[in-house]
Amino acid sequence: MASDTAHSHPYHMVEPSKWPAVGSLAALTLAVGAVMFMHDAGPWVLSAGFLLLLVTFFGWWRDVVKESRAAYHTDVVRHGLRVGMVLFIASEVMFFFAFFWAFFDRTVPFLSRTALEAWPPEGVIPLETWHLPFLNTLILLTSGATVTVAHHAVQKGDNAKTALWLLFTVILGALFTCLQAYEYGHAAFSFTDGIYSSTFYLATGFHGAHVIIGTCFLIVCMFRAKAGHFTAEKHVGFEAAAWYWHFVDVVWLFLFTCVYWWGGSGYQG
Q: pLDDT for 9-60, tens place per residue?
A: 888 888 899 999 999 999 999 999 999 998 988 899 999 999 999 999 999 9
Angle at 24 between CA 18 and CA 25, to 5 degrees: 90
DSSP 107: T
pLDDT band, residue 267 (cuts 50/70/90): confident
Between residues 152 and 70, the one the model is more confident about: 152
How far lies 7's CA from each of 71, 75, 81, 233, in Å? Answer: 11, 14, 19, 21
| Share above pLDDT 70 across residues of the chain, in percent, rounded to a whole number | 93
Rounded to an integer, the average pLDDT of 189-217 is 92
Pick the CATH number of 74-264 from 1.10.20.10, 1.20.120.80, 1.20.120.160, 4.10.640.10: 1.20.120.80
Q: What are the domain boundaries of the chain?
A: 1-72, 74-264
Q: Do 1-72 and 74-264 show the same overall fold?
A: no
Residues near 151 by beta carbon (within 8 Å), at least 6 away in sequence:
238, 239, 242
How far lies 208's CA from each of 216, 250, 269, in Å? Answer: 13, 13, 28
Rounded to an integer, the average pLDDT of 188-214 is 91
pLDDT at 220 over 50: yes
CB hemisphere CA count around 118 (13 angstroms): 10
What is the dihedral sign for C-alpha 48, 50, 53, 57? Answer: negative
pLDDT for 5: 46
When the pLDDT of each residue in the chain is averaged and rounded to a whole number, the result is 90
pLDDT for 69: 86
pTM of the full predicted structure?
A: 0.89
pLDDT at 114 over 80: no
Rounded to an integer, the average pLDDT of 74-98 is 94
By CB atoms closer than 10 A (0-12, 13-18, 19+), residue 263 is: buried
Angle at 154 between CA 135 and CA 220, to 5 degrees: 65
C-beta separation of 106 from 119 below 8 A: yes
Pick the CATH number of 1-72 from 3.90.930.12, 1.10.287.70, 3.40.50.300, 3.30.1450.10: 1.10.287.70
C-beta separation of 235 from 81 below 8 A: no
C-beta separation of 81 from 64 below 8 A: no
What is the dihedral sign for C-alpha 125, 213, 218, 48? Answer: positive
C-beta separation of 103 from 202 below 8 A: no
d(CA 214, CA 73): 22
d(CA 242, CA 247): 9
pLDDT for 78: 92
pLDDT at 4 over 60: no
pLDDT band, residue 263 (cuts 50/70/90): confident
pLDDT band, residue 3 (cuts 50/70/90): very low
pLDDT digits (tens, 9 = 90+) for 149-197: 999 999 999 999 999 999 999 999 999 999 999 999 999 988 888 888 9
